[in-house]
Structure 1
Amino acid sequence: MSTEENFDRGRGSKKPGKNARKKSMARGNAPLKNEGTSKTKESKSPSAKPKLKFDKDGKEIGRRQKPAVEVKRSNPQDGIRLNKYIANSGVCSRREADTYIATGLVTVNGKVVNEMGYKVQLSDDVRFDGRRLNPEPNTYVLLNKPKGFATTDSNAKGMTVMDLVANATTAKIKPFGRLGRNATGLLLFTNDDEFVQKFMKKGITRLFHIELDKNLKMEHLKKIRDGFTVDGKEIHVEDISYVTNSPKNEIGLKMKHTGNSIIRTIFENLEYDVVRVDCVTLGPLTKKDLPRGRWRHLTQNELNLFSML
């Protein structure tokens, strides 16, 4: 069979022969892209990348837009589930808390709550078997108070000591004891109700450096030391003395009262005006390494000393 016959035979069977010329894929023979189909697929695909634009220098124009993701954030005003509140206070687990709630051992603001899923606020008075609970860790902050700040957590009093410890913690601490607006020295803050109740009854010994408008007579110093009565109320101090190497109008007074007005009551009854009051020590705490207007957290060793009082 000749070469031509072999070629014709292969073409007739639609199969290229051995020496058949392959189909060229040069321009004009290349398959055409279906532009309409391509665009349709791009528009339907959710993962398709946005079309970018570039300037003459090759820099990208505009910014790539990322799909917005909606983040659902919890609102503290919505409250916290009662069983979680109890569990966070360290009493028991959530499952056990549900049992206690169902049996009526939990009260919220004085009322028994046995509803599952009930929500409370951090400011609510939640009690388990009569004991008030606190879902926050116990926090203790010591401040060296400067003049001009009221000892209160009310915003109606202008500048308060709460402004000075605002960045100390997120816990809802309150001042324990009082110092007058113009008094200075150590002031303790805590959210530990058991600590507050314990020392409200027992008191914490505080040492004050007091300056009077005139020298304190020795007979008055002895009278204060021995104790006396003002408006039918007995007043006792632990100790009183003149400040060493200072004028006789500077007094050191040690007492357990948590209030500040008692100091003025003592001296005004003896016809002295109090010029300055500075709390030098508070229980086992001192002002060492704590400048005026600064605060710090109590150490575990200091807390252990309080537990021994």
Structure 2
Amino acid sequence: MRLDRFLSESTELTRSLAKKALHRGEVEVNGEVIKNAAFKLDQEQDVRWMGEPLALVGVRYLMLNKPTGYECTTRPGRYPSVVELLDVTKRDRLHIAGRLDVDTTGLVLITEDGQWSHRLTSPKRRCDKHYLVTLAQPLMDGAEDLLAAGLMLEREDKPTLPARLERLPATDEDEGEVVQARLVIQEGRYHQIKRMFAALGNEVVALHRERIGDIVLDSTLATGEWRELTETEIASI
């Protein structure tokens, strides 16, 4: 691999900035200053820029505990992107596998592996997505059966896939009763969960994704924190 390409793939430098760094004598290979951008590297050579060792960025698989107020996008928008929470190089290579609304929290998976991401999000795979839902009022009778049968949502031409609903015991929070449920769906339509509960005459107050397939949000991750997936988690998709 050419030295300038190695620099651009292992740092935030572009190819043109990498060449300028070389020209300034900032790059060493095996302890020797190299200024030639076309210098050929092999796998055993030690490359340092400004004294810091460099290594190629491999394929990354990350788990993030998403806070509210962030968009699941890599492009600038009205809200900051979740990738801004990641302290990693080459963030422009990453994409979000299975997005969440700006006001939804919880598990977000981020990678640069397009095939892995496709397996995760493809409707044909019917990957279970688990959510904790906070509702404005108690659930109507028979909600479980209606969701299991599939709902016809407004402006849709086919019903939702069967979903699993689990009612949770009401809790008291700030002297108000909190109504919560767990919902498992296999799709990702626009605002789907909010629209599903609206069809049941209810309103989603808060939404938190806990799990995708066999990958469970790490309970040790505080809001806004992330970690790399384990090999077992990666292989589960």
TM-score normalised by length of structure 1: 0.53
Question: 1:235 and 1:266, CA in 2 relative to 1: closer, same or farther beyond 3 A?
Answer: same
Gaps of at least 5 residues in structure 2 are: 18-55, 172-176
Gaps of at least 5 residues in structure 1 are: 1-71, 80-134
Q: Does 1:252 align with 2:182?
A: yes
Q: Residue 161 of structure 2 aligns with which residue?
A: 236
Separation in structure 2 between the aligned mates of residue 154 and residue 293 of structure 1, nearest angstrom: 19
Separation in structure 1 between the aligned mates of residue 79 and residue 203 of structure 2, nearest angstrom: 25
Q: Does 1:178 align with 2:116?
A: no
Separation in structure 1 between the aligned mates of residue 231 and residue 101 of structure 2, nearest angstrom: 29
Q: Residue 271 of structure 1 aligns with which residue?
A: 201
Asked whether the 8 Å contact 1:216–1:248 carries over to 2, the reply is no
| Structure whose CA Rg is larger | 1
**Match runs of 1:20-99 below 5 Å:** 76-78=14-16
RMSD: 2.8
In the alignment of these two chains, the number of paired residues is 181
For residue 84 of structure 2, the aligned residue among 148, 153, 163 is 163
Separation in structure 2 between the aligned mates of residue 262 and residue 193 of structure 1, nearest angstrom: 24
Asked whether the 8 Å contact 1:168–1:295 carries over to 2, the reply is no
Separation in structure 1 between the aligned mates of residue 150 and residue 208 of structure 2, nearest angstrom: 22
Q: Does 1:222 align with 2:145?
A: yes
Q: Does 1:294 align with 2:203?
A: no
Q: Which has the higher helix share?
A: 1
Separation in structure 2 between the aligned mates of residue 270 and residue 238 of structure 1, nearest angstrom: 13
Question: 1:164 and 1:233, CA in 2 relative to 1: closer, same or farther beyond 3 A?
Answer: same
Q: Residue 141 of structure 1 aligns with which residue?
A: 62
Asked whether the 8 Å contact 2:65–2:105 carries over to 1, the reply is yes
- Identity, in percent, stands at 21
Separation in structure 2 between the aligned mates of residue 263 and residue 182 of structure 1, nearest angstrom: 13
Q: Deviations over 1:97-123 (max 9, x none)?
A: xxxxxxxxxxxxxxxxxxxxxxxxxxx
Separation in structure 2 between the aligned mates of residue 244 and residue 234 of structure 1, nearest angstrom: 29
Separation in structure 2 between the aligned mates of residue 203 and residue 161 of structure 1, nearest angstrom: 25
Separation in structure 2 between the aligned mates of residue 232 and residue 260 of structure 1, nearest angstrom: 14
Once the two structures are TM-superposed, the CA of residue 145 in structure 1 deviates from its matched residue by: 0.5
What code does the residue aligned with 1:189 have? I
Q: Residue 130 of structure 2 aligns with which residue?
A: 207
Q: Does 1:283 align with 2:206?
A: no
SS in 2 for 1:241: strand
**Match runs of 1:183-198 below 5 Å:** 183-198=104-119
Q: Does 1:303 align with 2:226?
A: no
Q: Deviations over 1:110-161 (max 9, x none)?
A: xxxxxxxxxxxxxxxxxxxxxxxxx963210100001111111111223221
Question: 1:252 and 1:294, CA in 2 relative to 1: closer, same or farther beyond 3 A?
Answer: same
Q: Residue 102 of structure 1 aligns with which residue?
A: none
Separation in structure 2 between the aligned mates of residue 259 and residue 77 of structure 1, nearest angstrom: 40
Separation in structure 1 between the aligned mates of residue 206 and residue 167 of structure 2, nearest angstrom: 15
SS in 2 for 1:302: helix
Asked whether the 8 Å contact 1:147–1:184 carries over to 2, the reply is yes
Asked whether the 8 Å contact 2:69–2:79 carries over to 1, the reply is no
Once the two structures are TM-superposed, the CA of residue 76 in structure 1 deviates from its matched residue by: 2.2
What code does the residue aligned with 2:116 have? F
Q: Deviations over 1:8-52 (max 9, x none)?
A: xxxxxxxxxxxxxxxxxxxxxxxxxxxxxxxxxxxxxxxxxxxxx
Q: Which has the higher strand share?
A: 2
Separation in structure 2 between the aligned mates of residue 193 and residue 77 of structure 1, nearest angstrom: 24
Once the two structures are TM-superposed, the CA of residue 169 in structure 1 deviates from its matched residue by: 4.2
